[in-house]
Chains A and B, each alone.
Chain A
Amino acid sequence: MKASSPIVYVVDDEPSVCLSLKRLLRSVGLEARTFGSALEFLHNKRSDAPGCLILDVRLPGLSGLDLQAELAARKITLPIIFVTGHGDIPMSVRAMKAGAVEFLTKPFREQELLEAIQRAIDQDGITRQHSAELRALQERYALLTPREREVFPRVASGLLNKQVAAELGTSEKTIKFHRGQVMQKMEAESLADLIRMAEKLGLSSNWPRSYGTKVP
């Protein structure tokens, strides 16, 4: 995982707000990128670094809530902090339900804003880490042969080599070999490691742990 510094995106049609937010965030050591409209934001390439989006509800053209829906549709998981000059309850409920981290009214209290930004960046970091890990696992899993893909979930579900061999109709020795290959290709250091990987890949859930193997 690359440890890049977080970026805060600001979408607000009011330049003075954008400028002041950029200054405030710079004063606390955060990089901010500002956009005057939702479309401008969508058209710009985003960094891989963790970050969050400070989004004005009332925007010309595509509104803040529309942009939230659009990001969800594009499976962009950037956490959103909504800001508005005149917020009402239904609007904030809608935004929060759609996954917003916070809903703040202008003028913001500095503390609330900074806390929300920190929370959002942390959340994004975790999400990114998870998806990066998963992506790495999937890359490794792609290296497995079809036979190894049969052996993997069975081993991860706690079956002994003998049992796997019986199930797949082959010898224990062959299974032992396949198992070694799986461990090596998946870069698993232990069986517990392998089981965690299977869980993340969504493999182990298909296998009833009828033999009572405890997952460390």
Chain B
Amino acid sequence: MQFLDALFSSGPFMPHGYCYMWVPGLVWLHVISDSLIALAYLSIPFTLAYFVRRRTDLPFNWMFLCFGVFILACGATHTMEVWNLWHADYWVAGGVKAVTAIASLATAALLVKLVPHAVALPSPAALRIEIAERTRAEEALKLAKSELELRVEERTAELKRVNEDLVLEIDRCQAIEQNLRDSEEQLRLAQEASGVGVWDWDTRSDRVKWSDQTFRIFGLQPSEQELDESSFLKMIHPEDRAAVKLAIREALRPGGEFDAEYRVQRPDGSMRWVLAQGRTHCDSKGSPFRMIGLCLDCTERRQAAEELRRSEVRFRLLVEGIADYAVYMLDADGFVSSWNSGAERIKGYSAEEIIGQHYSCFYGDEDLRKGKPAMALREAAGTGRFEEDGWRVRKDGSRFQANAILTALHDPKGKLVGFAKITRDLTEGRRAEDAVQATQAELARVVRVSTLGELTASIAHEVNQPLSAIVTNANACCRILASPAPDIDDVRQALTEIVEAGTRAGEIISHIRALVKKGAPQKSPVDINLVIQEVLNLIPGVLENQHVSLEMELRPSLPAVLGDRVQLQQVVLNLIMNGIEAMSAIPDRPRALVIRSDARESGLEVTVQDSGIGLDPPNIDHIFDTFFTTKPNGMGMGLSICRSIIEAHRGRLWASQDPAVQGATFRFSLPAGA
């Protein structure tokens, strides 16, 4: 307190005014000047403080505060100057000056330090330029910004559009996916229903993927199991394996297609036919990487096709093989559409020349004029069938009597599609009947001859038995008589036996003669022309078969003869057959048989003349002897029996070799019936 008292006490000093001598002007000059300076100095820090407070962004604002303190201190010294005019508190005034000095020194020092920084601060011009630049940049920026905004807008619009498209696309994709699912389902159903299996072979990794149906076709349980080529080939029938392998190899090229039909050996042992088709996929270099395709069990189809083919072949063979009938088809208008071998044979046209021709060419002119072909078609179309016997014309123009049947053919809807025609050659039929009769006659002849053969064997046996006994007994007798002591009784016995045997042999011979003659013939009036006719009726076809032309010169109203009709028939038959046989060996001249009947003084005469090999003159006298024959297989009985018969009828049978004609002539004469 004392210090403070000391401080503010004027002590021994005198106020400053004393120095001025209280000259009012001088005092007032100092008072006013110092007060105004102090006022100014005191106001500046406030302004600075205000400035600093308002411009917080100013660099070095602490410098302003320093300036504020320093100026405030300066203001305080000037205030003290005013005080000191009346109050001599020089210690306080010195203290204030000291504070001011410190603040001044500090500010000065700080200012020195600050100057380089302050110098670096841009000048207002630079700032202006910078500002201008910045403004320009800002404007450019603004421009760019607006441009950018425009582009963003555009992009946004674009994006929006794209987005809309995308939404549409997604919808479409979903639709497609649905479709795909649908079609996959449909495909699966189709596979199941049709039995078509799918296979997919990755040729590079050799993996084969199969659809369920494919597994089923191969007789396996559907599974995810993947196969390879060799395991697939193993399931194929060994006979088809090589062909399938080859087909695969050939298909493995750009655009290659696999098409094979093979047998599959199922695990249960059954065998199925499989039809498989596929296509090869290749990369850009043309090397194959995938083959995909279908397969189908075609066993039933094949069997059906095979059955159909067989049945067609059978039918075709059947129809074609019918040689006795012309079997052919006409279209609805009567044009020939098929032709069998029988038709070719009967009508003379080959299939090539007649197919496509109108069937009216088989008709004769008069039938054509009457419109018969069209009428037949109409009739058949109307009633389903038309049959007639009539004349038809062959390719060579010759005619034949035919039986023709026309049958209308309709499709399942009842529409007329054509006609089946069967034509039979009736003349052929008659010829066949003739041939049958000829065969019968031939048979009859063979029976006759073999009966004779039997008879001969029997005769030989019968006669040879006693002959054998005779010869053996005679031999025995010779030996007995040649012995030293011949047994005469035995010889007598042997001779008795010889006599017996000899007698028996004679009996056998006469018995046979009796058999042949059979006593007196049953006689009744006979018309010899009728007998000849009857004989010819007995051998129908024989003359034709042997290509023998028959010439008959029968004189009508010949006198009747008394005789055995059957025996006389035998004679005529024998002569005719002999004549035919004599001609059978001649190929170079006409075979002609002449049968003539004529009246003679005492009765009649029949001549049978052939153009055969003829008779050797030395033989003419012997040919009627029993067992004489010139034929390789003859018995030598026929003519002798004939002569016996004719002689039994009090007639005569003889042969002659007429020099005017080749061949032999046989004649027999019979007395007029009495």
| A interface residues, Cβ below 8 angstroms from B | 14, 16-17, 19-21, 23-24, 26-28, 58, 83-86, 105-108, 110
Residue B467 at the A interface, CB < 8 A? yes
Most buried by A among B457, B469, B479, B500: B469
Hey, which chain B residues are within 8 Å of A58, CB to CB?
461
Contact A17 B472 (CB under 8 A): yes
| B interface residues, Cβ below 8 angstroms from A | 457-458, 460-473, 475-476, 479-480, 483, 490, 493-494, 497, 500-501, 504
Contact A85 B469 (CB under 8 A): no
Contact B469 A24 (CB under 8 A): no
Contact A108 B468 (CB under 8 A): yes
Contact A110 B461 (CB under 8 A): no
Contact B471 A27 (CB under 8 A): no
In the assembly, what is the distance between CA of A181 and CA of B213, in Å? 87
Contact A17 B460 (CB under 8 A): no
Contact B497 A16 (CB under 8 A): yes
* Known contacts A16-B501, A20-B494, A85-B461; is-contact A107 B480 (Cβ 8 Å): no
In the assembly, what is the distance between CA of A17 and CA of B476, in Å? 12
In the assembly, what is the distance between CA of A58 and CA of B454, in Å? 14
Contact B497 A24 (CB under 8 A): no
Most buried by A among B476, B483, B493, B497: B476
Contact A17 B468 (CB under 8 A): yes
Hey, which chain A residues are within 8 Å of B480, CB to CB?
23, 27
Contact A85 B479 (CB under 8 A): no
Most buried by A among B458, B470, B479, B504: B479
Contact A107 B471 (CB under 8 A): yes
Contact A14 B460 (CB under 8 A): no
* Known contacts A23-B473, A86-B457; is-contact A17 B465 (Cβ 8 Å): yes
Contact B472 A24 (CB under 8 A): yes
* Known contacts A85-B460, A85-B464, A86-B457; is-contact A27 B476 (Cβ 8 Å): yes
Contact A106 B464 (CB under 8 A): yes
In-complex Cβ contact of A16 among B461, B469, B476 (8 A): B469
In the assembly, what is the distance between CA of A28 and CA of B269, in Å? 85
Hey, which chain B residues are within 8 Å of A84, CB to CB?
461
Contact A16 B479 (CB under 8 A): no
Q: A14-B468, A105-B464 are in contact. List 7 more A-B contacts (CB 8 A).
A: A20-B468, A20-B494, A23-B490, A26-B476, A58-B461, A110-B471, A110-B475
Hey, which chain B residues are within 8 Å of A14, CB to CB?
465, 468-469
Hey, which chain B residues are within 8 Å of A20, CB to CB?
468-470, 472-473, 476, 494, 497
Residue of A nearest to B493 (CB): A23
Hey, which chain A residues are within 8 Å of B469, CB to CB?
14, 16-17, 19-20
- How close is A11's CB to chain B, nearest CB, in angstroms? 14
- How close is A86's CB to chain B, nearest CB, in angstroms? 4
In the assembly, what is the distance between CA of A20 and CA of B457, in Å? 23
Q: What are some 10 contacts across the A-B interface (CB < 8 A)? A: A16-B466, A16-B497, A17-B468, A17-B469, A19-B469, A20-B472, A58-B461, A86-B458, A105-B464, A107-B468
Contact B494 A23 (CB under 8 A): yes
- How close is A85's CB to chain B, nearest CB, in angstroms? 4
Contact B465 A106 (CB under 8 A): yes
- How close is A24's CB to chain B, nearest CB, in angstroms? 4
Contact B476 A106 (CB under 8 A): no
Hey, which chain A residues are within 8 Å of B472, CB to CB?
17, 20-21, 23-24, 107-108, 110
In the assembly, what is the distance between CA of A108 and CA of B470, in Å? 10
- How close is A10's CB to chain B, nearest CB, in angstroms? 11
Contact B468 A85 (CB under 8 A): yes
- How close is B468's CB to chain A, nearest CB, in angstroms? 4
Hey, which chain A residues are within 8 Å of B458, CB to CB?
86
In-complex Cβ contact of A107 among B462, B464, B493, B504 (8 A): B464
Hey, which chain B residues are within 8 Å of A23, CB to CB?
472-473, 476, 480, 490, 493-494
In the assembly, what is the distance between CA of A42 and CA of B531, in Å? 56
Residue of A nearest to B465 (CB): A14
Hey, which chain A residues are within 8 Å of B497, CB to CB?
16, 19-20
Hey, which chain B residues are within 8 Å of A106, CB to CB?
464-465, 467-468
Hey, which chain B residues are within 8 Å of A24, CB to CB?
472-473, 475-476, 479
Contact A27 B483 (CB under 8 A): yes
